[in-house]
A and B are shown apart, each in its own frame.
Chain A
């Protein structure tokens, strides 16, 4: 066995050890967020991706324009004409890509708030609270998002009565709530995991200084967890944003639903691919910088701890 090793393998065997090894590392100085965003945009990899998307689209458009003989507006013109609608939604209504972003913000805010409490519930000293929190977390963590969406669209009332007045519950509000539940469950796990990852010495020293459990959690444990929770939390925000087009299935006028409407109205199969590529690029442009920032934060915090 020993002598059949290829050179790189034997090199690995030489350098790999179970013992802790100190590797040379220099911590990059911290940069302001704005500068980091600029860095991301100036990254060659990022620009190449964007360029690829644009090139694909334009080449498809050029091919189609040739085949149609100039009798109809080109795909590019058609798409640009519909872009304001898909981005801002129908006038006087919340919709379009902005609705996707709005839903992602609100679902994240609700999910984070509920998830924080649920996560703290998971480490409760009161057995029933701990078990119930665990159960709720597991249920919503392991359910398909689309099933949850349908479930809550049908379960929540069509309208509510407050002080004798009837208010219609908009579909997007129900969808937001439904989407916030899986976020809640995953944030709950993030919180639980971050708390568990802190050295027990922190709890003990707080205890020996006569801090109550609640004081310990809120002023000593959670503030230290924020750093650890931020990267996975941002990661879930990206996943949530990518999932918001699911709400189009339930009749909410988000960018996906409007894109489908445009396809139906135009009845031109050749704009299918560029139109969806165009929509994809918005999500990409929105999420990719967040993903890169997340990776950077992860790397930075991993070294510091």
Chain B
């Protein structure tokens, strides 16, 4: 019902006072944020501050204890939620790529549209080839994940996620497991994606990249958003002492 009311001038992803605990340990202590369509959001912060948990909650990989998460106006924190419908809208890329090792790069990209969206095979194949070209992996269609480098695997994972035509893409520290020289190729892919107008929510440690690509930077620490703002003001004049301390350590 609420999904019908959603219009593009409203936030595509909206979090209100989200609380999440693992047992007695509270990871998220009241997170609120609004993300508009086409925006690129970078979430930064020390490890253990709940960044990954936060974005995993957005596509219901983790459930939350209280609060509200809305994607296109649809409430995620709802026991009757159609998780599959939500995940068709929200793509996710993981730190460990998680490609299906028994399928080739092309098959990895084709699988979900064919099996989940029941789209015709020929059409999907054409699109999958196009997507692999877009992530600069032309000629690697028939390679198995084990035959690809980390950076190449991660780009296949991005193409695989894009094949579902998601409205929002979540990137969970996608370059953290990569060699320094392959980080760039993955970041370039994400940059292209952002330039095309894809709504992206990234958890990242790549500060220079965040500064260049993000519309808004969120800094989280110990389960709360300490401060947020456009990258220029955020990096130049952080107000909160915790942010300043973090930035001084990392920059």
Residues on A facing B (Cβ under 8 Å): 199, 201-202, 204-212, 215, 219-220, 223-224
Number of A-B contacts (CB under 8 A): 57
**Which residues of chain A are within 8 angstroms of B90 by Cβ–Cβ distance?**
208
**Which residues of chain A are within 8 angstroms of B100 by Cβ–Cβ distance?**
202, 205-206, 220, 224
The contact string, 1 if C-beta is below 8 Å from chain A, for chain B 207-233, is: 000000000000000000000000000
Interface of B (DSSP majority class): mixed
Q: Which of B22-30, B110-118, B196-204 contacts A (4 or more CB under 8 A)?
A: B110-118
Q: How far is the CB of A101 from chain B (nearest CB, A)?
A: 32
The answer on a CB contact under 8 Å between B115 and A208 is: no
Residue of B nearest to A205 (CB): B98
Complex A-B: 10 CB contacts under 8 Å: A201-B94, A202-B100, A204-B61, A205-B92, A209-B91, A209-B164, A210-B84, A210-B85, A210-B112, A215-B116
Given contacts A208-B87, A209-B87, contact A215 B115 (CB under 8 A): yes
The answer on a CB contact under 8 Å between A201 and B98 is: yes
How far apart sit A202 and B61, CA to CA, in the bound complex (Å)?
13
How far apart sit A220 and B103, CA to CA, in the bound complex (Å)?
9
Given contacts A201-B96, A219-B115, contact A210 B61 (CB under 8 A): no
Q: Which of B85, B87, B99 is within 8 Å of A207, CB to CB?
A: B87
B160 at interface, CB cutoff 8 A: yes
Q: How many residues of B contact A (CB 8 A)?
A: 25
The answer on a CB contact under 8 Å between B102 and A204 is: no
How far apart sit A207 and B90, CA to CA, in the bound complex (Å)?
11
B101 at interface, CB cutoff 8 A: yes
Q: Which of A212, A219, A220 is within 8 Å of B84, CB to CB?
A: A212
The answer on a CB contact under 8 Å between B96 and A224 is: no
The answer on a CB contact under 8 Å between A210 and B94 is: no
B243 at interface, CB cutoff 8 A: no
B14 at interface, CB cutoff 8 A: no
Q: Which of B88, B91, B102, B116 is within 8 Å of A223, CB to CB?
A: B102
How far apart sit A244 and B248, CA to CA, in the bound complex (Å)?
73
How far apart sit A224 and B145, CA to CA, in the bound complex (Å)?
13
| Given A201-B94, A205-B94, A208-B61; 10 other pairs, CB 8 A cutoff | A199-B98, A202-B100, A205-B157, A206-B100, A207-B83, A208-B87, A209-B112, A210-B87, A212-B116, A219-B111
Q: Which of B85, B96, B116 is within 8 Å of A209, CB to CB?
A: B116
The answer on a CB contact under 8 Å between B116 and A204 is: no
**Which residues of chain A are within 8 angstroms of B160 by Cβ–Cβ distance?**
209
**Which residues of chain A are within 8 angstroms of B115 by Cβ–Cβ distance?**
211, 215, 219
Sorted nearest first, the 8 A-B pairs with minimum C-beta distance are: A205-B98, A201-B98, A210-B87, A208-B92, A209-B112, A210-B84, A210-B116, A210-B88
B154 at interface, CB cutoff 8 A: no
**Which residues of chain A are within 8 angstroms of B94 by Cβ–Cβ distance?**
201, 204-205
**Which residues of chain B are within 8 angstroms of A220 by Cβ–Cβ distance?**
100
Residue of B nearest to A221 (CB): B100
B74 at interface, CB cutoff 8 A: no
How far apart sit A206 and B99, CA to CA, in the bound complex (Å)?
9
In the complex, chain B residues 64-97 whose Cβ is within 8 Å of any chain A Cβ: 83-85, 87-88, 90-92, 94, 96
The answer on a CB contact under 8 Å between B98 and A202 is: yes
The answer on a CB contact under 8 Å between B102 and A208 is: no
The answer on a CB contact under 8 Å between A208 and B116 is: no
How far apart sit A204 and B61, CA to CA, in the bound complex (Å)?
7
Q: Which of B83, B102, B112 is within 8 Å of A224, CB to CB?
A: B102
The answer on a CB contact under 8 Å between B116 and A224 is: no
Q: How far is the CB of A300 from chain B (nearest CB, A)?
A: 14
B104 at interface, CB cutoff 8 A: no
**Which residues of chain A are within 8 angstroms of B164 by Cβ–Cβ distance?**
209-210
How far apart sit A206 and B108, CA to CA, in the bound complex (Å)?
11
**Which residues of chain A are within 8 angstroms of B59 by Cβ–Cβ distance?**
208
How far apart sit A199 and B91, CA to CA, in the bound complex (Å)?
20
**Which residues of chain A are within 8 angstroms of B84 by Cβ–Cβ distance?**
210, 212
**Which residues of chain A are within 8 angstroms of B53 by Cβ–Cβ distance?**
none
Q: How far is the CB of A302 from chain B (nearest CB, A)?
A: 15
Q: How far is the CB of B203 from chain A (nearest CB, A)?
A: 14
In the complex, chain B residues 123-170 whose Cβ is within 8 Å of any chain A Cβ: 157, 160-161, 164
**Which residues of chain B are within 8 angstroms of A199 by Cβ–Cβ distance?**
96, 98
Residue of B nearest to A202 (CB): B98
Q: How far is the CB of B164 from chain A (nearest CB, A)?
A: 6
How far apart sit A114 and B150, CA to CA, in the bound complex (Å)?
39
